[in-house]
Amino acid sequence: MVKVLVLDGISDQGVQLLKDAPDVQVDIKATMPEDVLVEVIAEYDAVMVRSQTKVNARVMEAAKNLKVVGRAGVGVDNIDLEAATKRGIVVVNAPDGNTIATCELTFGHILGLSRMIPQAYKKTVGGEWDRKTFVGVELRNKVLGIIGMGRIGSEVAKRAKAFGMNVIGFDPFMTDKRAEEIGVKLGTVDEIVRNADFITVHTPLTNDTRNIISRPQFEVMKKGVRIINCARGGIIDEAALVEAIDAGIVAGAAFDVFIKEPPEADHPFLNHPKIIVTPHLGASTVEAQENVAVDVSEEILHILRNEPFKNAVNMPSVPANVLKKLQPFFNLGEKLGKVAGQLADNGLHEIAINYAGDLADVDVNPLTRYIVLGVLSNHLGEDANVINALHLAKARDINVVVTKTSATKSFTNLVTVTLKTDDKDSVAAGTLLAGYGERIVQIGQYPVDISPEGHVLFIAHNDKPGIIGKVGTLLGDTGVNIATMQVGRKVVGGDAIMLLTIDKEADDALLGALKNLPEITTAKAVRL
Ligand SMILES: NC(=O)c1ccc[n+]([C@@H]2O[C@H](COP(=O)([O-])OP(=O)(O)OC[C@H]3O[C@@H](n4cnc5c(N)ncnc54)[C@H](O)[C@@H]3O)[C@@H](O)[C@H]2O)c1
Ligand SMILES: O=C(O)[C@H](O)COP(=O)(O)O
């Protein structure tokens, strides 16, 4: 039974999937102070949050069993990704579920601003019938500047077109073709701030986007411009905005997000007559909350059941077609890493991986992680996993070098793992053979053909007559049955290897006895 903690008032219906799972216990709490979370988190395999709960390094440190943090929403700024990656905890989010909700709130704010609806409402319910103050502006023919043309920005653009607005967008990843499709003119931030009547931001908060609109930008804006932020506090400089409104440059602003949430009671936005505020409600629709909770519940179940998942934030996302091609290699890759790792000497400084044939034209990053995991797991056991494998290698000054070769001599695909140590290289290569499955086809410099499973005994020896018999007798005397045996040598009478698959693990006594044979230079039990 695995345990999942659901916090932050996440949609009950959305987590039904988890509740229905026979192997999952779900604990739902509205909120949990950090100290309490730190006390209880060790019990849980997964935790699901919105933006309220901070899953910081202290929480991660206490989370001895945690495998996944699910963010029922987009932004993961409340989750310490570095701490999660170090501990091998997957962080998944739900990037699509609240796009429309946030886009619609943004449009609500654009309309609210243009017609001062919240201010008019306040006065009217206060008993005043004021028809002079609230003369607004139309959206038709106005210029809307959008900074950040991702999911939400693009949806806002489409709706703006329906209102007859002219849209200028800026996004480093926006192509001309995509801009044309949604009827947006691409421009720079400078062009947007100089020309727009309304400016809305839809980027994450990063070093590049923090204060992307600040004093220098307000100074060159059109008089009467209106500003909207439904993305993240800090993208627009809060203090500079108030100055620009008070200086008569900005006619009004609508904010759903703040640098500090909730803002202090004396925050200058809260009682400003030209600023409309909402308490981070972008994603707060019934539909969005259900969508994100369902998406994250599905991901949590996949991860806890060791099934493929797609929206990991601390691991590159892999398109479904690439995943389909790579997935059959994951087990082989991990086994190759294990074999090469167990046959390597100490002082590992490089894991060189060559992908040849079929694999040369795909993004192999996920497979590389499995191989590195295989290498490291020999020493790090369960502390290593596919999330933290590359991080653990880097932390140990082990370079991971990937090369690709389009053709192979004998196989349609070939993965070769070479571990470079201070002394010599350890090599294991494998392939997926149609109809035969995973095969290890090279160990060291010797061609072999074994299925990577069970117990393997690796013996390096001098090629002398009778050695096979001596090994067979020793194994037989200790009750170890040989399933398969392969020998490899480069020259007659030179260095050679023997690779045996055996029905039970070779113990230290047997390995010691083998090493005592004068012809044998190395005898190792390889665990797969
Ligand atoms: N108010 C809310 O409740 C709410 C709800 C959902 C999302 N959000 C926030 O809205 C933002 C956008 O969400 P999304 O789902 O559209 O994300 P997204 O990843 O689809 O889009 C973000 C876009 O910003 C662009 N970008 C990054 N740096 C940029 C820069 N320097 N200049 C211009 N563009 C840049 C990216 O290229 C990307 O296309 C996120 O910060 C998210 O957390 C807020
Ligand atoms: O990044 C997001 O998804 C939004 O900011 C929504 O946050 P919330 O889930 O706390 O409403």
Residue 222 burial class via C-beta count within 10 angstroms: exposed 0-12, middle 13-18, buried 19 and up? middle
Provide the pLDDT for residue 464: 86
Tell me, yes or no, if 261 is annotated catalytic.
yes
Residue 316 burial class via C-beta count within 10 angstroms: exposed 0-12, middle 13-18, buried 19 and up? exposed
Provide the pLDDT for residue 318: 72
Amino acid letter at 370? Y
Q: Could you give the CA distance from residue 92 to residue 311 in angstroms, rounded to a whole number?
A: 5
Mean of pLDDT over the chain: 93
Provide the pLDDT for residue 313: 86
Of 333, 332, 336, 339, nearest in space to 524 by CA: 339
Set 87, 280, 369, 461: catalytic member: 280
Q: Where are the beta strands (DSSP E) in 234-373?
A: 250-255, 275-277, 350-357
Of 213, 210, 211, nearest in space to 193 by CA: 213
Provide the pLDDT for residue 324: 84
Q: Which tokens is 322 given?
A: 């690439």
Q: Is this complex scored with an ipTM above 0.85?
A: yes
Q: Could you give the CA distance from residue 216 to residue 486 in angstroms, rounded to a whole number?
A: 74
Residue 279: is the preceding peptide bond cis (ω within 30°)? no
Q: Which tokens is 117 given?
A: 């609806």
Q: Is the pLDDT of residue 381 over 90?
A: no
Ligand 2 pocket, Cβ-based, cut-off 6 angstroms: 50-51, 73-75, 98, 280, 282-284
How close is the Cα of 191 to the center of ligand 1, in Å? 20
> Number of C-alpha atoms within 13 angstroms, CB side, residue 410?
9
Provide the pLDDT for residue 44: 98
Q: Is the pLDDT of residue 367 over 80?
A: yes
Q: Could you give the CA distance from residue 258 to residue 231 in angstroms, rounded to a whole number?
A: 9
Structure letter (DSSP) for residue 79: B
Superfamily of domain 2-95+287-304: NAD(P)-binding Rossmann-like Domain (3.40.50.720)
Provide the pLDDT for residue 46: 98
H helices of 139-183, where? Answer: 151-162, 176-181
Proportion of the chain above pLDDT 70, given as a percent = 100
pLDDT in tens, 250-309: 999 999 999 999 999 999 999 999 999 999 999 999 999 999 999 999 999 999 998 878
Model confidence at 39, pLDDT cuts 50, 70, 90, reads very high
Q: Which tokens is 74 given?
A: 């987009």
Q: What is the mean pLDDT of residues 48-56?
A: 96
How close is the Cα of 305 to the center of ligand 1, in Å? 31
Provide the pLDDT for residue 290: 96
The torsion angles phi and psi of 90, rounded to 5 degrees, stand at -80, 135
Q: For atom 32 of ligand 1, which residue has the closest CA?
A: 171
Say how far residue 301 (Cα) sits from the centre of its chain: 16
How close is the Cα of 192 to the center of ligand 2, in Å? 26
Task: State the closest ligand 2 atom to the C-alpha of 52, by its place in the atom list counted from 1.
Answer: 10
Alpha carbon dihedral 34, 40, 46, 51, in 10-degree steps, equals: -20
Q: What is the pTM of this model?
A: 0.77
Top mutation candidate among 53, 71, 98, 202 for ligand 2, by most atoms within 8 Å of CB: 98
Proportion of the chain above pLDDT 90, given as a percent = 73
Q: Could you give the CA distance from residue 407 to residue 155 in angstroms, rounded to a whole number?
A: 44
Model confidence at 311, pLDDT cuts 50, 70, 90, reads confident
According to CATH, the topology of domain 99-277 is: Rossmann fold (3.40.50)
pLDDT in tens, 149-186: 999 999 999 999 999 999 999 998 788 888 999 999 99
Beta-carbon contacts of residue 442 (< 8 Å; ≥ 6 apart): 416, 427, 428, 429, 430, 448
Q: Which tokens is 418 given?
A: 């070479």
The CATH code of domain 320-527 reads 3.30.1330.90
Provide the pLDDT for residue 22: 95
Q: Could you give the CA distance from residue 41 to residue 57 in angstroms, rounded to a whole number?
A: 12
Of 382, 419, 374, nearest in space to 527 by CA: 374
3-state secondary structure of 99: helix
Top mutation candidate among 10, 48, 50 for ligand 2, by most atoms within 8 Å of CB: 50
Tell me, yes or no, if 232 is annotated catalytic.
yes
Q: What is the mean pLDDT of residues 319-342?
A: 90
Set 50, 87, 202, 232: catalytic member: 232
Beta-carbon contacts of residue 62 (< 8 Å; ≥ 6 apart): 38, 39, 41, 42
Q: Is the pLDDT of residue 383 over 80?
A: no
Set 34, 261, 287, 307: catalytic member: 261
How close is the Cα of 73 to the center of ligand 2, in Å? 5
Q: Could you give the CA distance from residue 85 to residue 387 in angstroms, rounded to a whole number?
A: 6
Alpha carbon dihedral 190, 193, 195, 198, in 10-degree steps, equals: 150
Task: Yes or no: say if 477 and 464 are a contact pair by the CB < 8 Å rule.
Answer: no
- 3-state secondary structure string, 458-489? EEEEECCCCHHHHHHHHHHHCCCCEEEEEEEE
Task: Yes or no: say if 370 and 334 are a contact pair by the CB < 8 Å rule.
Answer: yes
Beta-carbon contacts of residue 524 (< 8 Å; ≥ 6 apart): 342, 343, 457, 458, 459, 511
Task: Let me know if the fold of 2-95+287-304 is the same as that of 99-277.
Answer: yes
Domain spans of the chain?
A: 2-95+287-304, 99-277, 320-527
**Residue corresponding to tokens 């790792």:** 341
pLDDT in tens, 425-475: 999 999 999 888 999 999 998 889 988 888 899 999 998 888 999 999 999
The torsion angles phi and psi of 275, rounded to 5 degrees, stand at -115, 130
